[in-house]
Chains A and B, each alone.
Chain A
Amino acid sequence: MPEYIVRELDIHEKDINNNIISFLEEAFGKDIDLSKIIRNTYTRNGKTLYLGAFHNERLVAFNCFMAFEFQFNNKTVYAHQSCWAGTSPQYRKKGLFSLLYDEAKRILLDRGSAFIWGAGNSQSQPILINKLGFRKIEMVKVEIPAAFGGKFFIDHYLKKLTQGAGVKVKDAFLPNEAEVMELKLGEFGEEVRIHDRYNNILWGKIKHKEKFGLKLKYLAVGGMVVNKPHLLHILFKEIAAKEKIDYFQIVANKTNTYLHNFLHVRPAANTEALVIYDLAMDTTNANFNFFIGIKDVF
């Protein structure tokens, strides 16, 4: 096996080697430049890790590990999302993907990261689970009709909760949604819609989809903070009226405790499962209050 060297990359370094730029073009396409990757991955906590594998000083594989801040039982922890994995075509199937992950695990554990997570596609997920020790959590979704201001459906899809019910967040990793929203606002600007009412917050993007021959407008929910579950229906109704959407689409992993607020939650068979690898914390019995918006590809 030829000798590969894995190095951490300073992605903000102005004099970054030209071969990184050519690698990105080669691996991800010509419309991808460094600034796009930075806007997409560099969270404000500054702990995002960029790793490259080099062969004879040429960058031949790359992986980013986005750092996010979480609230876990009222303590702040950091964990990293794997994304932007790519290998030069002539260096594929040489174990570079695993090499980068092994180094990431070592570095991030050393830096106190709680876990690495990702989604992975049909190619990478089997490697992550079978070879690299990740475990899988299935995704679920709920689609709430919102036409006519949601008057007829929102109350049917949101549980009628008494005060305090439905915000069980013990042993749950709650993303710092402010951090996620800031990242997405920096990348997409006004495409990102943020709504709040009575300390409940919901953000996402407006998308369109053809269904039954109709062009439907929906809010893909990127994230949520629930502080007053008994008043959550008010927020949903306000959004339905303001955004004039046909439905809300909420996709999350099945351990997300905020899902207790909703009825008619069903498997999201077409969404890649969440995969988790524990580093500084044992998360076996933890919940992950992740929505789809935390993903780099949202």
Chain B
Amino acid sequence: MKNLIKKSIYSFYPKDSLKPYKLKLGYIFHTEQIYDDTYFSWLLEFCSTYYEITGARAICAIIPPTNYLLAQSLKEAGFSESNFVSRLRDIEKVATLGYHGHFYNSKTPKAEFAIHCNSFQLKPLIEQVEADLNWFRKHNIDHNGIYSGGWWFMNAFLADMLITNGFRFDYTFSRAPYFFNLFSDQIMSENQVRIGESFYLESGKGKMLCIQNFIGAHATPYVEDFDRNLKNLFSPENENGLNVGVINSHDYDLDLKNTLKCIRHLVTDAGAEFFSHDGLRALSEQQARKTALLDLNK
């Protein structure tokens, strides 16, 4: 019934409703379950087809196996670390790697024990970030200085740690209601950063270019759902402006068919341009006028 209603309403909905927004997009995966053969094959297939359609490489921000939940999942699946590294090498051929951090206040890796803005403890965060980054180093996996936060968590301490460890690009900040983060919201509000506007985050140790996450990728047969959701996020100031950002999904909740359908629609009907990380970086460096300063005492 819902589908029928949607179908009839969308028959009147303009296909090019996103055209005025001059979308400059990238695609980022929060890559969490590559030990699963099906998800892994979908991921590779998506990245290859996405490249054929857009000429851009997706970004795959990965969780290293030092993460408590992934370690447990790998153990349960009987999936070795060397196989995990081997799959990352395969992903590297079709996408750009980054780091995706999920942090816990407990060694029981459940979402209810997540480190977040209002369940924040510095010591376990430091321990887990260090363990993750040591893993990247040990296995010679290049995260390309790219970070994207699990559960959209970011705060001054994490940002400072990332900058100190050479991360120069972040894809965590978002204005989407489901990706809300208290720190991100404060930073963007205080610095009057609009949706689709890249900006810098600076600590005494360097700065990181922040490219926003718009919304989640498409998982329904109606591309108009995506158009409508993205338009809801935008304000009039987004019209005729440059809107740079990424759309995202996990590897495990990717809707291969419908997401690719939406990408084709965005290119064809909305005039959206898709970019690899390097392209987004170049655009954002031109666009970014604002620098937010990190304050660890706030």
Listed stretches A6-14, A69-77, A145-153; interface member: A69-77
Residue A74 contacts which of B152, B156, B175, B178 (CB distance < 8 angstroms)? B156
| Residue ID in chain B nearest A175 by CB atoms | B119
- With contact pairs A74-B156, A178-B113, A201-B112 given, residues A164 and B119 touching in the complex (Cβ less than 8 Å): no
User: A163–B112 contact, CB under 8 A?
Assistant: no
Contact B105 A176 (CB under 8 A): yes
Known interface pairs A163-B185, A198-B178, A230-B180; A76-B122 also in contact (CB < 8 Å): yes
B175's nearest neighbour on chain A, judged by CB, is A163
Query: 7 shortest A-B CB distances, which residue pairs?
Result: A178-B105, A178-B113, A164-B185, A196-B112, A178-B106, A225-B119, A227-B116
Within 8 A of B (CB), among A77-123: none
Name the CB-closest residue of B to A169. B118
* Cβ of A167 under 8 Å from chain B: yes
Minimum CB–CB distance from A217 to chain B (whole Å) comes to 22
B112 contacts A167, CB within 8 Å? no
Chain A residues near B186 (CB-CB < 8 A)? 164
User: B197 → chain A, closest Cβ, in Å?
Assistant: 17
A124 CB-CB contact with B under 8 Å: no
Does A177 have its Cβ within 8 Å of any Cβ on chain B?
yes
A106 to B28, CA, bound (A): 54
CB distance B108 to A182 under 8 Å?
A: yes
Q: Which residue of B lies closest to A195 (CB)?
A: B112
- Quote the shortest CB–CB distance from A8 to chain B (angstroms): 25
Q: In the complex, what residue of chain A is closest to B113 when comparing beta carbons?
A: A178
Residues of B within 8 A of A167 (CB): 117-118, 182
Range of interface residues on chain B? Answer: 35 or more
- Interface size of A as a range: 20 to 34
Alpha-carbon separation in the docked complex, A71 to B113 (Å): 14
Using a CB–CB distance below 8 Å, which chain B residues touch chain A? 104-106, 108, 110-114, 116-123, 151-153, 155-157, 175, 177-178, 180-182, 185-186, 189, 296-298
A178 to B: closest C-beta gap in Å: 4
Main secondary structure of the interface of A (DSSP, over half): mixed
Q: How far is the CB of B193 from chain A (nearest CB, A)?
A: 14
Query: Is A228 interfacial (CB-CB < 8 Å)?
Result: yes
Q: Which residues of chain B are within 8 angstroms of A177 by Cβ–Cβ distance?
A: 119
Using known A-B contacts A163-B177, A164-B186, A178-B106, determine if residue A71 contacts B121 with beta carbons closer than 8 Å: yes
Q: A74-B156, A163-B177, A227-B182 are in contact. Are A174 and B112 (CB under 8 A)?
A: no
The reply to whether B155 and A227 form a contact with Cβ atoms under 8 Å apart is: no
In the complex, chain A residues whose CB is within 8 Å of the CB of B152: 199
Q: Is the CB of B121 within 8 A of A164?
A: no
A174–B122 touching, CB < 8 Å = no
Which residues of chain A have C-beta atoms less than 8 A from B118's C-beta?
71, 167, 169, 174, 225-227
Nearest residue in B to A164 (C-beta to C-beta)? B185
Instruction: Check if B119 sits within 8 Å of A201, measured CB to CB.
Output: yes
- Kindly identify which residue among B108, B119, B175, B177 contacts A231, using a CB–CB cutoff of 8 Å: B177
CB <8 Å contact, A76 and B112: no
Q: Given the complex of chains A and B, what is the CA–CA distance between A231 and B176 in angstroms?
A: 12
With both beta carbons as reference points, the residue of chain B lying nearest to A174 in the complex is identified as: B118
Q: Does A194 contact B (CB under 8 A)?
A: yes
